[in-house]
Structures are given as C-alpha cells and as structure tokens.
Amino acid sequence: MSLLAIGIALAKAVIVFVCLLLCVAYSTWLERKVLGHMQVRCGPLRVGWYGLLQPIADGIKLFFKEDIVVSGANKFLYILSPMIVMIAACASIAVVPFGDYIDVFGQKIYLRVADVDIGVLYIFALSSLSVYGITLAGWSSNSKYALLGGLRASAQMISYELATGLSIIGVLMHAGSLRPTDIVAGQDIWYIVKQPIGFLIFVICAFAECNRSPFDLPEAENELVPGFHVEYSSMKFALFFMAEYAHMIVVSALAATLFLGGWRGPVLPGIVWFMLKVFAMMFFFIWIRATYPRFRYDQLMKFGWKVLFPVALLNIVVTGIGMVIWG
Amino acid sequence: MNEGYIPILFMLALATAFCVVVVILSRLVGKRQDSSEKLMAYECGNIPTGNARQRFPIKFYIIAMLFIVFDIEAMFLYPWAVIYKSLKLFGLIEMVLFVGILLIGFIYIWKKGALEWGSRNI
C-alpha cells in the first residue's frame, strides 16, 4: 500500500468519523424537534436559531458534569463498557458505501472508508459486540436496576439479532455477495421490491436492537429508571447516549444499502440520495416512537422467537423456491 | 495481510481514541465532590440492601444458549446464500433439508416451553 493510499484512507476515516459524530449530535436535535412537533410542542427553541445549537450545549454541559464511579462497582469494566458500545457503533460505519467516486486532482476517490468482501458480516459482528458493553455495564455498576436492565437488554438484543441475521439472507441470495458495493450495484430494482418480508423483519429487528420504542424495554423509564446506564454520569453516560444514535444511523445506513438501493438514484448525486434515505429511516424511527406504546417483556420475547424467527426462515425458503422457478 | 482492512483499523483506532480522550478529559474538567451518599447505588433514595449481583431467572441463560445454537445455524446459511445462484435446484434441496432439521429443533424447544415467559416457567 503506497503512502498516498494510506494518507487518503486516513483522511477518509477522519472525515467519516467527524461527520458521523455531527450526525449523531444533530439526530438528537432531530428527535427532540420531531417528537415535540408530533406532540404539539416546539421542542428545543432557545439555544441558537431554531434550537440548532442545543446538541452542542448539551455536549458541553455533559462534559462539565461530575464523573461518578459508584461504590462497589467493578471499576475497570465500569469504565470500559460505554467505550465498547461506542466503538462498536462507530466503527461499523466503515464499510458502508456513501456514493460512487469523486475526482480530486485526477485521483479517483471512492466514497467509502473500506471495501471488504465480508462487509455485511463485519457490521453484524461489530453490532453483536455492543451487547457485551451493555451486559457488562449492567453487571459492573452494582445496582439492581442496572443489572435487570442489562439482562433484559442482552436477552432482547440476541433474540432479535437472530431474526436480523436471517432476514437479510434473501438479499444476499439475490446479490450473491457480502460486499456492500456489490449489493448496491445489484439493485437496478431495489431489493425492498423483491424482499418485502425481509425488509419488514429487518426494520422491526432494527428497532429492537437499537433499544428503541416500542422495544425500549431495557430503558423502560417508569419501571427500571433508565435501565443499564442508571449509574453512569458525565461523558460515560454521553457515550451510551451517542452510541444509541450512532447505532440508529448505522442501522439506517445498512437498511438503505441492503434494501433501498444504497446511493443510487436519478439526477441528484449519490451521496445526497444516500443521506436522504438514511434520514428518511431516522425519521421513521422517531415517528414510531411518537406513535406506539411499549411492549410487555414476555410479548417482546414471544414475538421475536415465535413470529419473527419462523417467518424469517420461511422467507428464505420461499425466496429460494422463487429463484429456482423464475431464475 | 489484506490491505482492504487497513482503513477499518484506522476507524477502530479513531473511535477508541475518541472514547478514551473524552472520558479522561471529562474526568479532569468536571468538578468532583465525592461523598459516601452520592456514591451509593441508586435505589429510589433508599439505602441499598444487599449485593446487587444476586441470582436471576434461569430464563436468561436458556435464551443465551438457544441463541448460540441458532445463530451458528444462521451463520451456516451465509456462505450458502452467497453462491445460491450457481447451486440452483441442488442448493434449494440442500437448504430445505437444513432448514427442516433446524425447524425440528425449533419445534422441540417450543413444545418444551423454553420460549414461554409466564411466571410458571421461570
């Protein structure tokens, strides 16, 4: 690998990481604003024009908060676990293609950080890692609420991960590759058309894996306080908070790449289409939160194992039969 | 080493550096005033009773075990899915057999009540 190539790769990583952090900050603003308007409130309004500086003010405030390590906590794991969650959420954006390529001084620059042949598998591997962070956070902070929240979260996340893993197999069968760029290239017709059931299962599981409403059992405020991160304060809490939004962005980007044609679209440049699709998904996340009440825990587990898992399996079989019959 | 993975390494390093720097900085910058009451585990204002790391329902272990079994089986479907187009009918039959065996196990745990969350089964 030449020095120039390494330099370009490093620059791309830095730019993508900074953009991701900005997107995370502003999706908290988006969430509060959209939720506010859906509930006939205004949302953040005072800090900056239209409340636009609110995420920055929040960040600065969290920075100056007192950093607490609870007595009886396992200190090492207590500090490590928010980092695991955040690193897993941020690093998985690396394989998502944002667009085709741009010319900079005659140098073709592809709009993705890395182009590996097992990209989809890599994202799933990393998103499984964040379960460790959440379980360890719940266990290490020596609080009953945190432990219960952590247990609930890990059981929920692994149950729905199963169905997520199965729901995208239909797409892989059509695309014949695990490389995200190949999957985008294969979508002359969006895969949501060929795999509507797969998309539905994927989106439901995405909600559950991001611990979002209506599956926000791990942080059910009115029974568990905030669940696994009840004992966290200052930036360690902020890391959990940011990781949740980063995870949402990654899942939206993955949905856009796998099912909605990735960066492909007419007239507008690829990156614009990609961002539009990602933020449409993010808006959908928020919309659902404003619309549906929370599940009960046994309903949640029953739904994951007894409905989503068999339906996802059936979807694979039907896709297989369909592909043999119609080529 | 495969060169395609070097950018991923950069990304991991960046994320790690960000997390470490942010946590250390906030530790240095934030004001600190410890007291034994403040460092107690939160239990709605009461003084916490006993250790928090107590026994918890075995259901969670069962779910974890089931997850490992079925996730490995799901992983076996990935390489099959990628080359499905060239396997055609042979691939379909193989897969139906595989999913069939998987389903037998699934029906067994369902009938055994491993997926129930009622108070009786915990």
The predicted-structure confidence for B25-72, as pLDDT tens digits, reads as follows: 888 887 777 777 777 777 777 777 777 777 877 888 888 888 888 888
State residue B118's pLDDT score: 67
Where residue B17 falls among pLDDT bands split at 50, 70, 90? very high
- Which member of B27, B89, B91 has the closest CB to residue A67? B27
pLDDT of residue B122: 45
Question: Are B32 and A139 an interchain contact pair (Cβ–Cβ within 8 Å)?
Answer: no
ipTM: 0.85
Whole-number pLDDT of residue A203: 92
Q: Which residue on chain B is closest to A310 by alpha carbon? A: B103
How does pLDDT run along chain A (327 residues), one tens digit per residue?
688 888 888 888 899 899 999 999 999 998 889 989 998 888 888 888 888 888 889 888 888 888 888 887 888 888 899 999 999 988 888 888 888 777 777 777 777 888 888 888 888 888 888 888 888 888 888 888 888 888 888 888 888 888 888 898 988 888 888 888 888 888 888 888 888 899 999 999 988 888 787 887 767 666 667 778 878 888 888 898 899 899 999 999 999 988 888 888 788 888 888 889 999 999 999 999 888 888 887 888 888 888 998 899 899 889 888 888 886
Residue B94: give the domain boundaries: 58-112
Examine residue B22 and state whether it is found in any structural domain, yes or no: no
Q: Cα(first)–Cα(last) distance of chain B, in Å?
A: 49
Alpha carbon distances (Å) from A45 to A152, A241, A287, A289: 35, 21, 20, 21
Asked if the Cβ–Cβ distance from A86 to B15 is below 8 Å, we say yes
- Decide if B101 is inside a domain: yes
Taking the Cβ of residue A155 and every Cβ of chain B, the question of whether any pair is shorter than 8 Å is answered with yes
Three-state secondary structure readout of A182-197: HHHHCCCCCHHHHCHH
DSSP A198: H
How many domains does chain B fold into? 1
State whether the Cα torsion A223-A227-A232-A234 is positive or negative: negative
Structure-token match 């897969």, residue found: B95
Whether the CB of A196 is below 8 Å from some CB of chain B: the reply is no
> Can you give the residue ranges of every domain in chain A?
72-326
Residue B68: inside a domain, yes or no?
A: yes
In a domain, B5, yes or no: no
B7/A114 touch (CB, cutoff 8 Å), yes or no: yes
Q: Give pTM, 2 decimals.
A: 0.89
